[in-house]
Structure 1
Amino acid sequence: MTSLADLGPVAQLRAGRLPRRLTQLLVGLVLYGASLALMVRGRLGLAPWDVLHSGLIRYLPLDLGQMVIVVSVLVLLLWIPLREKPGIGTIANTLLIGSSADAVLAVLPAPHPMALRVLFTVGGVALCAFATALYIGAQFGRGPRDGLMTGLVRRTGASIRLVRTGLEVTVVVIGLLLGGSLGLGTVLYALTIGPLAQRWLPAWIVDVGPAQEPAIAASASR
């Protein structure tokens, strides 16, 4: 099976199948933003980091997508002491997911029947997992939140499960205190995003040749 490589920005561009990988990266990130918009319109709860984003916009004059970008930049600053190196995918992730979310929210009305709200929420989670497989499989590096997780894993020696759970519990608690949106959709996301992304990822990993350094993991968060 094709494996994930941990490549620097220059190596990412020199690796093979660049047009296919760039297209897959961009499509994956745009769909990721669309999945966020679907969950927002479903009004049944958001993904853990988006609980934080939805809480912050209650106090700051920003749209949800703009807040996603701002938090991504702040998280990238935390990479500095962790000595994580951003890649092309890191920058694209920072800019495109929030922009895509706002664009879809601008044209997607909120459904009123509960059946449609459930469909939006379930569809948002499934689309997020598929989008995750696309953008990670493009082999352009981790997103800001994934890099924070892997950096903490390297620095603390703790397990990925422990670090990721700790981060997501922290952002959910802060988001709730700020009035963010928590619900059944949050639970559904937490339980299914990892297994779904793991199931779809192997089919979308683009072979770029022998990995220079094995990646820690294919996480299913941004």
Structure 2
Amino acid sequence: MNKQELNKMLKNLPRLFFGFFLCALGISMMLHADLGISPWDIFHKGLSTQTGLTFGQASQLTGLLVIGVSIPLGILPGIATILNMYFIGFFIDLINKSGILSTPSVIISKLILIYLGMIVFSAGVFFYLSSNLGAGPRDGLMIGLVQKLNKSVSLIKTVIEISVLIIGYILGGPLGIGTVLIAISFGTILQTIFKIGKFDANSNKQLNLKEQYKILFVDDSTASN
């Protein structure tokens, strides 16, 4: 067991879960703006319509498929990848049940809410990625493509968002003006948050499950022999 690395992992857990909560809050804000769901959620809804899966099951299946695509890019799942799939959904349900958010009646207020949601979600992505405990399935794919193609976060995320939007719409997912705003704006907002937080997606290294297993269970003296 590498005690120094273990302590570092434990210290990053609050940062990880704070990031998950911000992601959930950002998603809830965008949903309450009532201008249209995100491209990924359109894909989930379309997949659900075509397969008979529930929305949650379609989201989980998508996560597994994205992990499968990411592995050849060198992005292996970590502890945070697994936790991401459960806890963001858990926090979304918690926030929605609390009633702290409501849908504005004025279009300008709706636009403000959806953009604030994107900012909050992007901050959440920054916090949980900077914990280095593993990227979520979709963000892992984004980072893998950024590093593989040596392109900006803004460009890669925008291409991914527009691609899943088109596929989701073809599958029967609903499309709204907010969906288009999210697709064309999210990448730039996330890139800006990364710059503010000095997070370099091109050189970032996420711990995967194999590395985390060694930290937790492999004795240092044994590993060095």
- Structure 1 length normalisation: TM-score? 0.70
Q: Is the 8 A contact 2:12 2:131 kept in 1?
A: yes
Q: How far apart are 1:32 and its partner, in Å?
A: 0.5
- Name the residue aligned to 2:181: 187
Residue range with higher mean Cα deviation, 35-44 or 72-81: 72-81
Distance 1:153 1:216, change over 3 A: farther
Aligned twin of 2:62: 71
Q: Is the 8 A contact 2:78 2:134 kept in 1?
A: yes
Sequence identity of aligned pairs in percent? 26
Structure 2 residue ranges without an equivalent (≥5) = 207-225
Query: Higher mean Cα deviation, 99-108 or 121-130?
Result: 99-108
C-alpha separation in 2, matches of 1:183 and 1:12: 50
Is residue 2:193 matched to residue 1:197?
Answer: yes
What's the CA shift for 1:28? Answer: 0.7
Q: Structure 1 pair 67/35, CA: closer, same or farther in 2 (3 Å)?
A: farther
The question of 1:111 aligning with 2:107 is answered no
- The residue aligned with 1:94 is 85
Task: Mark the runs of 5 or more structure 1 residues left unpaired by the alignment.
Answer: 1-9, 206-212, 218-222
- For residues 57-68 of structure 1, the aligned pairs below 5 Å read 57-59=48-50, 60-63=52-55, 65-68=56-59
Contact 1:137 1:201 in 2 (8 A): no
Alpha-carbon distance in 2 for matches of 1:187, 1:214? 29
The size of the alignment, in residue pairs, is 197
Structural mapping, 1:12-31, within 5 Å: 14=5, 16-31=7-22
Structure showing greater Rg: 2
The 5 A counterparts of 1:108-147 are: 108=99, 110-114=102-106, 115-147=108-140
Note closer, same or farther for the CA distance 1:163–1:193 as it changes in structure 2 (3 Å cut). closer
Q: CA RMSD in A?
A: 3.4
- The answer as to whether partners of 1:69 and 1:94 remain within 8 angstroms in 2 is yes
